[in-house]
Amino acid sequence: MRKLVELNHVLEDGMRPYPGLPRPKIGAFLDHEASRPHYDGQAEFYLGQVNMVCNLGTYLDSPYHRHRDGADLSQTSLEKVAGVPGIVLDGVPSSDRSIGLDCSALELRGRAVLVRTGWDRRWGTDAYWEPGPYLAPSFVNLLIRTEAALVGVDFWNVDDTGDPSRPAHTRLLAVGILIVEHLCNLSALPRTGFRFSAVPLRIVRGASFPVRAFAEID
């Protein structure tokens, strides 16, 4: 029997965004009551509207996010974001907060590589936005060398946010390895034996966008 596991944070009005970005406004363009006159009082509908930056909640970064000549969300194939064979790697930050995983013996080619640290348990608190884990250059090298399809993390940035050059984003997206940040609930997944999906809308010049990330476990 197939089991579906949610791996994304819920979006809501006024939620705290990435530091320095505005809070989202999620509400009604026309609510049920106000819509009734449009249907002679015989029906009612809620028409919502969302005003937000696209890096909100759990989101996917396309190559265009970092590279102006990279593929945008409208050019991202479903094969790279839907039903991708997944693997979970447990990461323990070193003293400098970097995560370097020695998994060269594992088959990562074409896989969604999900890094589980437990940082997502801080979600909704100020502690979530403290300087967090990031991917070590050695691990980025491994993902590129093994041709992973995607890397996802349960913390807030694959890069050390103190480094303005953003080397992990730069190198991964340059070779088409997609990035999903702010995952959650990875503790519910086995190491392997599942398929990962994180499908954004198809947006021309779309760089990043929230996703409903989930795993399918057989």
* Spatial strand order in the sheet of 194-197: 3-6, 214-217, 194-197, 84-90, 112-116, 150-153, 178-181, 59-61, 208-210
Q: Which token pair is 70?
A: 């990279």
Q: How confident is the model at residue 149, as a pLDDT?
A: 97
pLDDT digits (tens, 9 = 90+) for 27-77: 999 999 999 999 999 999 999 999 999 999 999 999 999 999 999 999 999
- Residue 1's pLDDT band, with cuts at 50, 70 and 90, is confident
The residue extents of the domains of the chain are 3-9+54-217, 19-52
Q: Which token pair is 130?
A: 């403290």
In this prediction, what percent of the chain has a pLDDT beyond 90?
94
Pick the CATH number of 3-9+54-217 from 3.40.50.920, 3.50.30.50, 3.40.50.980, 3.40.50.2300: 3.50.30.50
- Could you give the angle at which helices 167-174 and 137-146 cross, rounded to 10 degrees? 0
Is residue 7 within 8 Å of 58, Cβ to Cβ?
yes
Q: Could you tell me which of 131, 149, 148, 150 has the C-alpha nearest to residue 93? A: 131
Strand partners, 150: 112, 178
Comparing 166 with 92, the larger pLDDT belongs to: 166
Strand partners, 98: 134
Q: Could you tell me which of 209, 202, 217, 149 has the C-alpha nearest to residue 6? A: 217
Beta strand residue intervals within the chain, DSSP E: 3-6, 25-30, 47-51, 59-61, 84-90, 98-99, 112-116, 134-135, 150-153, 178-181, 194-197, 208-210, 214-217
- Position 168 pLDDT exceeds 80: yes
pLDDT digits (tens, 9 = 90+) for 172-218: 999 999 999 999 999 999 999 999 999 999 999 999 999 999 999 98
Q: How confident is the model at residue 106, as a pLDDT?
A: 83
